[in-house]
Structure 1
Amino acid sequence: MIYAVHINVMPLKELLDPQGKAVMSGLSNLGLKGVEDVRIGKHITLQVEAASKEEARKIAEEASQKLLANQVMEYFEITVN
């Protein structure tokens, strides 16, 4: 079966996000008020062939740990559909 796997990779909350700060400043310069914080990350979609949702999640987890996320600076969340 083919599963659509969505992986969100974000900077750790404890770390400064320079891209997010730049966007926050830009929004303020445009007069857009009310935005409290901006964090910039990556959204990755995989089409995974697997026998079950659990197997698809394991494949995505391994891909995230080994390649897609730098676990020193980022965390990831996986959704399997």
Structure 2
Amino acid sequence: MQAQITISLRDGVLDPQAKAIHHAIESLGFSQVSQVVMQKQITLELESSSQEHAQQIAEQIAHDLLANPVIENYEVQIKA
């Protein structure tokens, strides 16, 4: 079973990397882009008997290790 964990900064947290990318896009002449959002995506291969159990494992890993809950949000999706 595969778990995809997407981590992004919470609203209101400055993202200098996304801002730099946005500036570079504008400097190339693409004024249509109004916002850039950077996210990390981590894929885990899990051995689990059920999707619910895999979800619990992935949620715990994301919360305890992968994301900083003070400044980041995370979303977990399980794919069979």
Deviations 1:2-48 (A, max 9, x none): x1110100000121111111100010011112111111120000001
Q: How many residues align?
A: 79
What CA distance in whole angstroms lies between the structure 2 residues aligned with 1:26 and 1:10? Answer: 21
TM-score normalized by the length of structure 1: 0.93
Specify every segment of 5 or more residues in structure 2 that has no aligned partner in the other structure, as ranges: none
How much is the aligned-residue C-alpha RMSD, in angstroms?
A: 0.7
What CA distance in whole angstroms lies between the structure 2 residues aligned with 1:35 and 1:77? Answer: 25
Map 1:1-81 to 2 at 5 A: 3-81=1-79
The secondary structure found in structure 1 opposite 2:68 is: coil
Q: Which amino acid aligns with 1:72?
A: V
The secondary structure found in structure 2 opposite 1:16 is: coil
Q: 1:58: how far off?
A: 0.4
Greater than 4 Å deviation, 4+ residue runs: none
What CA distance in whole angstroms lies between the structure 2 residues aligned with 1:49 and 1:16? Answer: 37
What CA distance in whole angstroms lies between the structure 1 residues aligned with 2:6 and 2:16? Answer: 18
